[in-house]
Amino acid sequence: MANVNAPFGLRPVADAFGRPWNGALTVMTTTTGDGTAIGIGDPLLALGTSTTNTDGTITKDVKIAATTDVIEGVCVGVIPDTSTSTIYRAASTVRRLLVCTDPDALYECQEGTGGTALAAADLGLNISLAIGSPSTTTGLSGATLDNGTEATTNTLALKLMGVSSRPNNAIGDSCIWLVKLNRSRYADQLAGL
């Protein structure tokens, strides 16, 4: 049975020791100057600025990360402003995001459908993300693993840690892999094996 092609970006599932992800989150803010929509599962880049929110809290400003950026964290939720707020962060809007910044988090991420499918021998290599537009229906990221970039290069965004053990998931196009941030702001980046 072929894998289902349904990108969702990065979804935290565990820590590097195999324990379930503990759900620890940090609130961060987007600015009106960022014209790119952000979905749940998108990697984020810190802007070096902050926002003072209406409740008096101060939060880091972030935007969607490019494939070569050092990643601040991963968006796991968007706090609604009103009952009609979008489930994702629409372009050029100020929204508060729930962000996983744990450098030891393991994420599930779907492999893209272009290029040569990843193989079991690629475990331990580093890989880049292909950033896609979020779904306006589900709010999920369109990011996938860029299966043309796997290498030992230490500047690639993610490290391939395994194949997700879920039903109907097999190595090949659209396979769901376990990955760890290799370019996390909170950890050293390392060469792949």
Block mean pLDDT (10 aa), the chain, length 193 = 90 90 92 94 96 91 93 96 93 96 95 91 96 95 95 94 93 95 87 69
pTM over 0.85: yes
pLDDT for 159 equals 96
Confirm whether 48 is domain-assigned: yes
pLDDT for 193 equals 59
C-alpha closest to that of 111 among 125, 128, 99, 124: 128
Q: Are 192 and 152 in contact (CB under 8 A)?
A: yes
pLDDT for 1 equals 57
Q: Give the domain-ending residue among 50, 70, 100.
A: 100
Confirm whether 14 is domain-assigned: no
108 and 177 belong to one structural domain: yes
67 and 135 belong to one structural domain: no
114 and 154 belong to one structural domain: yes
Confirm whether 56 is domain-assigned: yes
175 and 121 belong to one structural domain: yes
Confirm whether 187 is domain-assigned: no
- Cα 45 from Cα 57, distance rounded (Å): 20
Domain count, the chain: 2
Q: Give the domain-ending residue among 62, 78, 100.
A: 100
pLDDT for 73 equals 97
Burial class from Cβ neighbours inside 10 Å (0-12, 13-18, 19+) for residue 46 reads: buried
Q: Domain range spanning residue 160?
A: 104-181
